[in-house]
Amino acid sequence: DPKYINVATHLVGIDPLVLAISDFLSTAADEVRIVGIHGMPGIGKTSIAKVVFNQFCYRFEGSCFLSNINETSEQSNGLVLLQEQLLHDILKQNTVNISNVVRGLVLIKERICHKRVLVVVDDLAHQNQLNALMGERSWFGPGSRVIITTKDEHLLLKVDRTYRVEELKRDESLQLFSWHAFGDTKPAKDYVELSNDVVDYCGGLPLALEVLGSCLSGKNRARWKCLIDELRKIPNREIQKKLRISFDSLDDHELQNTFLDIACFFIGRNKEYVAKVLEARCGYNPEDDLGTLSERSLIKVDAFGKISMHD
> Is the pLDDT at 277 greater than 90, yes or no?
no
3-state SS, residue 204: coil
DSSP, res 138? G
The tens digit of pLDDT for each residue in 154-208 reads 999 999 999 999 999 999 999 999 999 999 999 999 999 999 999 998 889 898 8
Q: Is 54 or 245 the better-scoring residue by pLDDT?
A: 54
Q: What is the mean pLDDT of residues 204-232?
A: 88
The CATH code for residues 15-164 is 3.40.50.300
Write down the domain spans for the chain: 15-164, 170-241, 250-308
Q: What is the pLDDT of residue 296?
A: 77
3-state SS, residue 272: helix
> How far apart (Å, rounded) are the C-alpha atoms in residues 42 and 5?
18
Q: Could you tell me the pLDDT band of residue 245, with boundaries at 50, 70 and 90? A: low
3-state SS, residue 153: helix
- Helix (H) and strand (E) counts for the chain? 14, 7
The tens digit of pLDDT for each residue in 161-171 reads 999 999 999 99
The tens digit of pLDDT for each residue in 30-52 reads 999 999 999 988 899 999 999 99
Sheet holding 117-124, edge to edge: 62-66, 117-124, 145-150, 33-38, 161-164
Instruction: Name the pTM for this structure.
Output: 0.82
DSSP, res 306? B
> How far apart (Å, rounded) are the C-alpha atoms in residues 154 and 124?
11
Give the long-range contacts of residues 134-137, CB within 8 A, separation 24 or more.
134/108, 135/105, 135/109, 137/32, 137/34
Instruction: Tell me the chain's radius of gyration from C-alpha atoms.
Output: 21
* Lowest-confidence pick of 134-138, 249-253, 284-288, 289-293: 249-253
